[in-house]
Amino acid sequence: MDKDREADMNSTPGNILTQLLKAVRLSRLLEIDYSDGRGRASTRRVQPLALTFYPHGQILGAYCLLREDFRQFRIDRIVSARETGENFGPSAPDLVRRYRRRIAHDAPPEPLRFSGSLDWGTCEPSGPLGAG
């Protein structure tokens, strides 16, 4: 793990990130205290499904029992997290699939930006289908 990402993870208050990782891995229901972008506090019971790491921050993807829908919570706005002692295990794989479909469907298209020039004549395939 690179040192910058490790520093970001360790700066999460109360080591909340460790709790979130454990809850995602073990399909444990959480109660979180959350502060939205306007500073309004709320308590949510969530089924944590995924943690996503972006250059600008981390997101908890979860099914919110209060809103009865999928939500994304910025980890830096989670004030505290508590395990409820409940599991949501058998439904977890289906919830994760539904969450991923929803996120893919709702995501606005983002323009691709390139720095420098791109010469298609020099591009070579890579990855599982390419040579490199």
- Reported confidence tier of residue 117, pLDDT bands at 50, 70, 90: low
Residue 132's DSSP bridge partners are none
pTM of the model: 0.64
> First-to-last CA distance in the chain?
24
Among 15, 14, 69, 80, smallest CA distance to 43 is for 80
Does residue 124 sit within a domain?
no
Q: What is the pLDDT of residue 47?
A: 94
Does residue 89 sit within a domain?
yes
Does residue 117 sit within a domain?
no
Beta strands in 1-132 (DSSP E): 28-35, 41-54, 57-64, 69-74, 78-87
Does residue 51 sit within a domain?
yes
- Reported confidence tier of residue 122, pLDDT bands at 50, 70, 90: very low
Look up residue 23 and give its DSSP letter. H
Residue pair 80/107 in contact by the 8 Å Cβ criterion: no
Can you read off the two tokens belonging to residue 115? 């720095």
Structurally, the chain folds into a number of domains equal to 1
Does residue 131 sit within a domain?
no
What is the extent of the structural domain holding 51? 3-106
| 3-class secondary-structure state, position 125 | coil
Query: What does the pLDDT look like over 25-78, one tens digit per residue?
Result: 999 999 999 999 899 999 999 999 989 888 888 999 999 999 988 899 999 999
Does residue 78 sit within a domain?
yes
Does residue 88 sit within a domain?
yes
Q: What is the pLDDT of residue 66?
A: 92
Does residue 87 sit within a domain?
yes
* Mean pLDDT score, 102-109: 62
Report the distance separating Cα 69 and Cα 48, nearest Å.
Answer: 12
Report the distance separating Cα 31 and Cα 24, nearest Å.
Answer: 13
